[in-house]
Structure 1
């Protein structure tokens, strides 16, 4: 039985490895594209990842699919970094730190901010896979906040996501630092605290 299962496992492992290689190459490509102000080339990413174009498109049928994967990998990285930095602090402090880091990340990527604005205006932001992923992260903070009594009860994760997206989307294109959005986000997150002072 065990020998019969190995051939099926290797293709799956190869597929996951190829996907990880493509996402890593795409992350570098998106950084370079942002710096140069040019669109990302799918063919260029395939070359950088040393995979065929057909392999790239099997994993990511569209540029948006690839951008989503890159975004989610960065989101996972950001969340893990915040968890390590705040593991001795209460959930509300951890949530505030995460929101600050998330906002800084979004504001540093003009293409992502443009996508956020479009998604907010069209209403698709609340139904996207990315929104669901962020809501899962927020839900973890909210549950921990209920346990340690640092975050108000009765708060829905998607409501927090919508609040964050709405405040970030107010940032004008010329404001690279988003200082007003950062201030509004701090006020918003502080409103979730159980502290009365």
Structure 2
């Protein structure tokens, strides 16, 4: 006999969870402050009880969105490198990074409290993201397209700076221009 904890969720429950996660991610990225749990449930087209069944606390929802975004960033890095030359892959990934930053801004208060309490290991996320950037750099160096004197930390700091100055949803054109300038500076010049 299978225990309830060991069973896979029903298809409709899995769909509801994915829907809630997607809507919460979008609302966190689009709103200036943290949206209410009720607003997230309403936008997802489910009842508040359904939201709380999947995410019993705001922290559990924020953690799920945060972890999902980190997974998308790291998996996205591998996928982009498989499809595009390293500079183009890094540039496209920078856009994903901007979306992640925007999403974090919409859940910042809760996220900071969770980092401070140790519920989210910020150092682990940093390590994963730096490894993704290092993958781009290594690939670009192997093809001779990216400079050898740039570190993953340099790029991470530059991206954070760009998205601090040019929030992608409010200043998309400026963010794109700054990202293009960054990538131009990373290329090997003949």
Structure number with higher relative contact order (C-alpha < 8 Å, ≥ 6 residues apart): 2
**Inter-partner Cα distance in structure 1 for 2:79 and 2:188:** 25
Q: Are the counterparts in 1 of residues 29 and 104 from structure 2 also a CA contact under 8 Å?
A: no
TM-score w.r.t. the length of structure 2 is: 0.61
Q: What is the CA-CA distance between 1:134 and the residue it aligns to?
A: 2.3
Note the aligned Cα RMSD (angstroms): 4.4
Match of 2:119 in 1: none
**Inter-partner Cα distance in structure 2 for 1:180 and 1:36:** 20
Check 1:76–1:178 CA distance in 2 against 1; reply closer, same or farther (3 A cut): same
Q: Are the counterparts in 1 of residues 81 and 136 from structure 2 also a CA contact under 8 Å?
A: no
Q: What is the CA-CA distance between 1:156 and the residue it aligns to?
A: 1.2
Match of 2:153 in 1: 158
Alignment equivalent of 2:172, drawn from 178, 181, 184: 178
**Inter-partner Cα distance in structure 1 for 2:128 and 2:167:** 25
Gaps of 5+ in 1: 1-6
Check 1:34–1:52 CA distance in 2 against 1; reply closer, same or farther (3 A cut): closer
Match of 1:112 in 2: 104
Check 1:34–1:190 CA distance in 2 against 1; reply closer, same or farther (3 A cut): closer
